[in-house]
A and B are shown apart, each in its own frame.
Chain A
């Protein structure tokens, strides 16, 4: 009965925040998995609680040296490298800091606040990715508590970023004994700040991508779209394949940060909506009905974008060894891209070692094909895209033309 009549967390008066103690905390966050697209949330969140950003320490990029030096002997299972490398990240934060951290904060991100939310079935993280911290933790606890031995509090809350209403509760429960004087009310405000910071960062990244696209459209130049999971941005996981390609002069777009402005979305997906294939620009039901995995959904959506934007003449797919979420999408993604005449290259089975020789040869091949075919691909794709591209000058009048035509056809 006491539980039934207990006060809600929101009604609790809460303790007084101990800002002085918080300013002295050092929080280590392993830079792995979905932290790659949520890091700004955590900076905004901890910043709002009074932990300065310069006291939030991220582990370095993944590397074989990191795994050798800090993660050796702590692996518990053979799975995909993006999860397996976590032992090195944990180890670096525990053993490799000049100034010791007080808290190792490794969120189990259950779901993500994807821009496709509301248009898809769900926005869950991959089962391995969400459970990664439990798995990595086991390697540091199986013989003795390595965290405690090093004076570190290990905090690993399950966080449903796709459900903002419950995130304050999840984080408050996990942090109330760790952040001095933490109250539920304060946690809720900090969560809001986290979302604001993340949104601000994403908006800025999308604006930069739009600048690149506008330049390509204006100059009629090709660019490359990367279809990959967030952690392939890690130099040790994605092996900087897109960087090698950029060195040949092709601008690179990551689909996670593709601009989603309404004018552009209407221009790209207007014909599909008019034909009744989709209900909104962010609806992927026409190509991927099982739309419950956030990162998978975004890859499929990115493939659709790449198939429709004329200046994206090539899409490259990065996927890690044994990735079970990517596996069923191999054919749909390739089909989506190739049916639009866009070039498609896939780097599969990426693992710990960069296959530098074969990457070099493949990048040369991609560059050759882009050089040979981009002009033709742009023409072919332009022939089936609506007029009034908002990426081009006088876009406004052209958009109006497109809308009028679409309305007429509908």
Chain B
């Protein structure tokens, strides 16, 4: 006689998504900024899937997430859980729960530790159960596996064309975002940058949507690495920025955004709209490119292999091979940056970040951004890339609280590093922003100090600088790159640049 086991609890298992289902189904995804999501949508559509990003999470989503899943969540879990649940609820009201179950599937990134990011699906499952949608299908994509094959039922194939398309789309979205954030604070005609960026993303959407099919694996890899298809498209859209007139002689504090991946990436309620808020407060925002996170994932794999050097015979060769992949990745990003006149910020070298963080935070400590938060803060400060660091840390985020703790040691040694760790609960906006504002006040003073120092060094007054700029209309365009001349403030770097050009002209 078989002993009954049916009464025992079992975890959620999604119903298969078959090839015959896929034409009728729309893939939902989210958790990034709008540019990246729009280009990802194009990548899905290019491969024959219907896809749609979820709307940007709101405070209502936060409350729903808290209500539906277990208590004590970090706020990204609450936001993303509530975001999915509210979308499904509203669609259920519109077309009925049965239709929603059949018409949509949700795809999200999964991981194998160390923080609870890899367990988010548990909250989604609980929320689905609590809104009576246990039959809804949700699939996890392992962010460490580029070629995972088909999900249950064979309807969705996580293969090389999808993965490479995703990576290329994220890199393209990064450079667009990078240029946008270096332009908008200085635009002469308010709203022009936003309009141009919207047009650029729409054009790039078509580019990714019409990406040629080059096979399932090696053909696709070779094509992505060798083609000019994306770079050419980026050069095209870059021309639109030439129309934007900028006034970069405004000494604005540069604020580097770091923190937990979701909070530093999204733009909306989940991080109190901090990017826009900082700009409104007079800052130039140095956003967090997704490329840096991808680069870190590769570095982490390299480190795991490095542990076996001297222990496992093949480890050294594997390290070399993976580092080559990492170099190719960096080269691809730089090609895209070059198409945008090298104006978007460069990716910091991962091994430099590791070296800087080493006295304070071990490079193998995983979860979240690991040692990168310490490394990026020091890299930014020592290389004068920004005046202050705004670290967005979700309430109760496990890895982030650890690096914030370790930052106490950093601040002890570098007391002039302006560091604003902001604990984000999602519903304590005034407290968080006022805390940020205190540090920003100091950052503003430093931006002015940079500018004054540049005036003293170059002998250029703002009036003279304006006259010189009037003679060089190309320097008043968003497409002109102001080289980094050792100051964090763009206005100061522009003065140095003008002085050099004037000196060269006089010498000639």
A-side contacts of B119, CB under 8 Å: 290, 328-329
**Cα(A83)–Cα(B70), bound, Å:** 22
Contact between chains at B310 and A384 (CB < 8 Å): no
Contact between chains at A327 and B70 (CB < 8 Å): yes
B-side contacts of A324, CB under 8 Å: 72, 74, 115-116, 396-398
Contact between chains at A293 and B406 (CB < 8 Å): no
Q: Is B114 an interface residue (CB 8 A)?
A: yes
Instruction: Give which listed residue, B9, B398, B409, contacts A127 with CB less than 8 A.
Output: B398
Query: Closest CB of chain A to B323's CB: distance in Å?
Result: 13
Contact between chains at B2 and A275 (CB < 8 Å): yes
**Cα(A70)–Cα(B115), bound, Å:** 30
B-side contacts of A292, CB under 8 Å: 112-114, 118
Query: Closest CB of chain B to A8's CB: distance in Å?
Result: 4
**Cα(A124)–Cα(B367), bound, Å:** 10
Q: Is B503 an interface residue (CB 8 A)?
A: no
Q: Is B280 an interface residue (CB 8 A)?
A: no
Stretch of B27-35, B121-129, B269-277, B337-345 at the chain-chain interface: B121-129
Query: Closest CB of chain B to A371's CB: distance in Å?
Result: 25
Stretch of B249-257, B357-365, B484-492 at the chain-chain interface: B357-365
A-side contacts of B70, CB under 8 Å: 327-328, 330-331
Instruction: Give which listed residue, A135, A289, A322, contacts B402 with CB less than 8 A.
Output: A135
Give the number of residues in A that approach B within 8 Å (Cβ atoms): 75
Contact between chains at B316 and A158 (CB < 8 Å): no
A-side contacts of B407, CB under 8 Å: 138
B-side contacts of A385, CB under 8 Å: 3
The 0/1 profile, CB within 8 Å of B marked 1, for residues 112-154 of chain A is 0000000001101111101110111111011100000000000
B-side contacts of A272, CB under 8 Å: 5, 8
Contact between chains at B3 and A384 (CB < 8 Å): yes
**Cα(A74)–Cα(B112), bound, Å:** 33
A-side contacts of B398, CB under 8 Å: 79, 126-128, 324-325
**Cα(A165)–Cα(B316), bound, Å:** 16
Q: Is A21 an interface residue (CB 8 A)?
A: no
Contact between chains at B115 and A127 (CB < 8 Å): yes
Instruction: Give which listed residue, A158, A165, A406, contacts B364 with CB less than 8 A.
Output: A158
B-side contacts of A99, CB under 8 Å: none
Q: Is B399 an interface residue (CB 8 A)?
A: yes
Contact between chains at B365 and A127 (CB < 8 Å): yes
**Cα(A136)–Cα(B2), bound, Å:** 54
Given contacts A132-B402, A169-B310, are A76 and B408 in contact (CB under 8 A)?
yes
Task: Tell me the A326-342 residues at the B interface (CB within 8 Å).
Answer: 326-332, 335-336, 339-340
Most buried by A among B312, B366, B397: B366
B-side contacts of A19, CB under 8 Å: none
Contact between chains at A124 and B113 (CB < 8 Å): yes
Q: Is A56 an interface residue (CB 8 A)?
A: no
The 0/1 profile, CB within 8 Å of A marked 1, for residues 330-373 of chain B is 00000000000000000000000000000011101111100000
A-side contacts of B120, CB under 8 Å: 328
Closest to B423 in A: A78
Task: Tell me the A153-169 residues at the B interface (CB within 8 Å).
Answer: 158, 160, 163, 165-166, 169
Given A131-B365, A290-B112, A323-B72, 17 additional A-B pairs, CB 8 A:
A4-B316, A10-B310, A125-B114, A132-B402, A134-B405, A166-B311, A272-B5, A277-B5, A289-B11, A307-B8, A325-B116, A328-B116, A330-B70, A332-B9, A384-B3, A384-B4, A384-B7
Residues of chain B touching chain A, judged by Cβ–Cβ distance below 8 Å, are 1-5, 7-11, 70-74, 110, 112-116, 118-123, 126, 307-308, 310-312, 316, 360-362, 364-368, 396-399, 401-409, 411-412
18 A-B residue pairs with CB within 8 Å: A9-B310, A77-B402, A127-B398, A128-B399, A131-B365, A131-B402, A135-B405, A136-B405, A165-B308, A166-B311, A277-B5, A277-B8, A292-B114, A308-B8, A327-B71, A331-B70, A331-B122, A406-B2
